[in-house]
Amino acid sequence: MDLQGFGHLLLSGTWVTIQLALTSLLVGLVFGLTGAAAKLSKNRFARWLATGYTTLVRGLPELLLVLTIYFGGSQLLMWIASGFGYDEYIEIGPFVAGVAALSIAFGAYATEVFRMAMMEIPDGQWESGMACGMSTRRTFFRIILPQVWRLAIPGLGNLFQVLLKDTALVSVVGLNDIMRQSQVAISATKEPFTFFLVAACIYLLLTAATTGFTMFMERVANPAARESRG
């Protein structure tokens, strides 16, 4: 396929897409863990807040989230900041808006994944941790979290694929990702089919790589299965 010298542009777009996806993943994981903790907490207000978060976000189009944060975000932030006596302009660029929107969306689904995983851990695990004389915190980090992680990885892997595909939406507000760069190439070459197909293939490669990585992580997180000979 003839890319007419636009290969490097697509490559730089791919790099932007990867950066966007990974940053959103990290922030989204924090949202997800916090959400799950809130949903399982004894505090009614926290539970209510987390339920509101997941219900709302899972019913809203991701594109609408991206647009709202990009076009309305600075207005909102400035309003909040003015409450603290800060009245200068706060700018939200496409990358930041993208990370915010995608991680909020990812976090809402990840909340459910983590919650399910946490509920799968039998109480006995907690109790035996205590019986060994570990503190609650120590039990959580040494016993519970590694198991939650193992149970959550397949679900999180699927969510990351969704996230990866949703990064394309951020091109609508002008981030120079794969989509945007293919559009730049198209406006010069007049070959929309060629370049969108190339873009599609890049996304396919990325999702395939993610599948591979998820499988690898599953192995790493599960030493018991790895060491067993069966």
Partner 1 sequence: MTWEWGVIWQYLPRLMDGAWLTMELVLVSGLIGITMAIPLSLMRASSLPWVKVFPFIYIYFFRGTPLLVQIFLVYYGASQFDAVRDSILWPILKQPYWCAIIAFSLNTAAYSAELFRSAIQAIPVGEIEAAEAMGMSKSVQVQRIILPRAFGIALPAYGNEVILMLKGSALASTITLLDLTGMARTIIARTYTPLEMFLAAGMVYLAISAVIIGLFRFMEYRFNRYQYYHHTDTPKNLDPLLRDPHIDQK
Partner 2 sequence: MMNIRKLFATVALVTGGLMAAQAATAGDKIRIATEGAYSPFNMVDSSGELIGFDVEIAKALCAEMAADCEIVAQDWDGIIPGLRAKKYDAIIASMSITEERMRVVDFSEKYYSNVLAFVTPEGSAVEVTKEGLKGKTVGAQRATIAGQYLEDNLGDVVDVKLYDTQDNAYLDLASGRLDALLSDKFPAYDWLRSDEGKGFAFQGEDIDINDEIGIAVRKGDALKDKFSAAIKAIVADGTYAKINEKYFPFSIY
Q: Which residues bind partner 1 (CB under 8 A)?
A: 56, 58-64, 67-68, 71-72, 75-76, 78-79, 82, 161, 165-169, 171-172, 179, 186, 190-194, 196-197, 199-200, 203-204, 207-208
Determine, following the binding rule CB under 8 A, whether residue 190 of this chain makes contact with partner 2.
yes
Residue closer to partner 1 by CB (options 103, 166) is: 166
Hey, what amino acid is at 33? L
Could you tell me the smallest distance in angstroms from the CB atom of residue 23 to partner 1? Answer: 18
Written as six digits, the tokens of 81 are 């900041």
Q: Which residues 46-75 are close enough to bind partner 2 by CB under 8 A?
A: 74
**Rounded to whole angstroms, how far apart are CA atoms 90 and 51?**
30
Give the shortest CB-110-to-partner 2 separation in angstroms: 19
Give the integer Cα–Cα distance in Å for 203 and 223. 31
What are the DSSP calls for 112-174, one per residue?
A: HHHHHHHHHS-HHHHHHHHHTT--HHHHIIIIIHHHHHHHHHHHHHHHHHHHHHHGGGGGGGT
Question: What does the per-residue mask of binding to partner 2 show for 163-182, with x meaning CB under 8 A?
Answer: ---------x-x--------
The answer to the question of residue 223 lying near partner 2 (CB under 8 A) is no
In angstroms, the CA 230 to CA 227 distance is: 9
Residue from 15, 48, 86, 216 binding partner 2 (CB under 8 A): 86
Residue 85 gets which letter from DSSP? T
If binding is defined by CB under 8 A, does position 133 make contact with partner 2? no
CB of 79 to partner 1, least distance (A): 4
Tokens encoding 229 = 């000979």
Q: Closest approach of Cβ 108 to partner 1, in Å?
A: 12
